[in-house]
C-alpha cells in the first residue's frame, strides 16, 4: 500500500519536468561529453551566480566538495578543524580524509547550528579551519564565526549540503566563508539523478586548486602539477541540475509555506517543539524536525498510519563507534546529544498538500493523546 504521506516524493517533483530532462539528457548523449565538459561549465556558472559567488566547481558529491576544499586550504596531518557533532558523518569524514583531526563544539539550543560562543575554548595552536554546518536548511550564525576565523587566521568552510538557497542577512549559504560546500544527493533541496556536489568560492587561488585537485592534479591533459584524485562531476548530472536550479526558488518557497502551516498547527501541542527560524536568515527546510520527549511511540504510530518520518541523526558523531578514538564521552556535547534523542523529521517536500500537513499534525496529536492514556 502506498504511504498516505511519504517522507519525500521525488517522483511528484520530477513528473512535470520530465520532457525537459529527456531533452537535456539526450543533448548530453549526442554531445559525447560525459565527464566534465560544457554542461558542467554551464551549471557551474549558473550555480555560482545563484549563490552570489565568483566561482563554482562541480565535483562528484558533497563529501568530495568538503574534502577538496580542505585540501585546497592546505589542511593536512597535524592540523585540527573545528566542527559540530550533530551533522551527517561526511562532515567529520572529510576532515579525517584530509589528514587533520575533527574537534567538536556543541550547537545552539534553538537553531541546532554551531554555537559561536564555544569556539574560543576549542581552539589550539593546531586549529586551521572551522566548518559550520547549515543543518536542516538554516544557516549558522556566521558573523561571529567569521570574525573568530579572521581573528585567528583560520579558514571558514561552510557545509551547505542541506542549505541550497538559504540566506544569512540577505546573502546566500555557501557565499559567506572562504568556501561553501554543497551536496546534490537526490533528496537534497537541489538534487541530481545520482551523486554530485560543488564548492563555491570567491577566492581565485582556491578555485584553481580545487579544479586541479578534482581532475587528477592535471593542469592540462596528462600534465600533473600535483597528486589529485578523480572527483569530476558527470555531465548528465549537470544537465539535470541546470533544469532543477531554475525551479529551486519556487520549491524552497513551497517548503517554507508548509513549514509555517506545520508551525501554526503545532502551536496547540505543547509537548512538541517545532523548529525555530533565526531572525538573521531564511530557512529552506531541507528537513522539518520536531522535538518530543518520547519519540518511539509517535514514530511507530505515524508509520502505522502510512506517514513517513525519520531521525536526523540518531547518534551524534562524537559518540559514533568510528570516532571512539577521539576520546569524547557521553555528556561532552549536551545539546547535540539531547536533540539527537528527541528529533523526529516529518514529511517535507515542495509538493506536500495542506491536507497532508494537517494529517501529519493530527496524527502526532493523536499519538500523544494515546501515549498519555496508555
Ligand X SMILES: Cc1ncc(COP(=O)(O)O)c(C=O)c1O
Q: How far apart are the C-alpha atoms of 287 and 371, rounded to whole Å?
A: 25
Using CB positions, name the residue nearest to ligand X: 62
User: Which of 95, 272 has the CB closer to ligand X?
Assistant: 95
Q: How far is CA 335 from CA 286, 338, 341, 362, in A?
A: 21, 5, 10, 28
The least distance separating ligand X from the CB of residue 371, rounded to whole angstroms, comes to: 31
User: Which of 189, 202 has the CB closer to ligand X?
Assistant: 189
The least distance separating ligand X from the CB of residue 60, rounded to whole angstroms, comes to: 8
Q: Which residues bind ligand X (CB under 6 A)?
A: 61-63, 87-88, 90-91, 133, 159, 161-162, 183, 185, 197
User: Taking Cα atoms as reference points, which of 70, 68, 64, 65 lies closest to residue 83?
Assistant: 70
The least distance separating ligand X from the CB of residue 304, rounded to whole angstroms, comes to: 28
Whose grid coordinates read 515542495? Answer: 350
Residue 24, helix vs strand vs coil: helix
The least distance separating ligand X from the CB of residue 138, rounded to whole angstroms, comes to: 12
Q: How far apart are the C-alpha atoms of 213 and 371, rounded to whole Å?
A: 54
User: Which of 61, 367 has the CB closer to ligand X?
Assistant: 61
User: Which of 162, 274 has the CB closer to ligand X?
Assistant: 162
Query: C-alpha angle with apex 67: 92 to 137, nearest 5 degrees?
Result: 65
User: Which of 62, 350 has the CB closer to ligand X?
Assistant: 62
Q: What is the helix, strand, coil percentage profile of the chain, to 5?
A: 45, 15, 40
The least distance separating ligand X from the CB of residue 267, rounded to whole angstroms, comes to: 29
Amino acid at each position: 500500500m502506498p504511504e498516505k504521506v511519504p517522507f519525500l516524493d521525488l517522483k511528484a517533483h520530477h513528473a512535470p519536468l520530465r520532457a525537459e530532462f529527456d531533452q537535456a539528457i539526450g543533448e548530453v548523449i549526442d554531445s559525447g561529453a560525459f565527464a566534465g565538459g560544457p554542461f558542467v561549465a554551464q551549471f557551474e556558472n549558473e550555480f555560482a551566480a545563484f549563490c552570489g559567488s565568483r566561482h563554482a566547481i562541480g565535483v562528484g558529491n558533497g563529501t568530495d566538495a568538503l574534502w577538496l576544499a580542505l585540501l585546497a586550504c592546505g589542511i593536512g596531518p597535524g592540523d585540527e578543524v573545528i566542527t559540530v557533532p550533530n551533522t551527517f558523518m561526511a562532515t567529520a569524514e572529510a576532515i579525517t580524509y584530509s589528514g587533520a583531526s575533527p574537534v567538536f563544539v556543541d550547537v545552539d539550543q534553538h537553531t541546532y547550528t554551531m554555537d559561536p560562543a564555544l569556539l574560543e575554548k576549542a581552539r589550539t595552536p593546531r586549529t586551521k579551519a572551522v566548518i559550520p554546518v547549515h543543518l536542516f536548511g538554516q544557516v549558522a550564525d556566521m558573523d561571529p564565526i567569521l570574525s573568530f576565523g579572521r581573528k585567528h587566521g583560520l579558514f571558514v568552510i561552510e557545509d551547505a549540503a542541506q542549505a541550497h538557497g538559504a540566506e544569512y542577512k540577505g546573502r546566500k549559504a555557501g557565499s559567506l566563508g572562504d568556501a561553501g560546500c554543497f551536496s546534490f544527493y537526490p533528496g537534497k533541496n537541489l538534487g541530481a539523478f545520482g551523486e554530485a556536489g560543488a564548492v563555491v568560492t570567491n577566492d581565485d587561488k582556491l578555485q584553481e586548486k580545487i579544479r586541479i585537485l578534482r581532475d587528477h592534479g592535471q593542469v592540462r591533459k596528462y600534465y600533473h602539477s600535483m597528486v589529485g584524485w578523480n572527483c569530476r562531476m558527470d555531465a548528465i548530472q549537470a544537465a539535470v541540475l541546470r533544469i532543477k536550479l531554475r525551479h529551486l526558488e519556487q520549491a524552497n518557497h513551497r517548503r517554507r509555506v508548509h513549514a509555517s502551516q506545520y508551525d501554526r498547527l503545532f502551536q496547540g501541542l505543547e509537548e512538541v517543539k517545532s523548529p525555530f527560524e533565526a531572525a538573521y536568515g531564511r530557512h529552506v527546510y531541507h528537513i522539518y524536525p520536531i522535538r518530543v520527549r518520547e519519540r518511539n511511540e509517535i514514530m511507530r504510530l505515524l508509520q502505522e498510519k502510512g506517514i513517513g518520518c525519520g531521525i536526523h541523526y540518531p547518534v551524534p558523531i562524537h559518540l559514533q563507534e568510528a570516532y571512539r578514538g577521539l576520546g569524547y564521552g557521553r555528556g561532552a556535547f549536551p545539546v547535540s546529544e539531547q536533540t539527537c534523542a528527541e528529533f523526529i523529521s516529518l514529511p517535507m517536500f515542495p509538493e506536500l498538500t495542506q491536507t497532508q500537513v494537517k494529517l501529519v499534525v493530527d496524527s502526532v496529536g493523536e499519538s500523544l493523546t494515546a501515549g498519555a492514556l496508555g
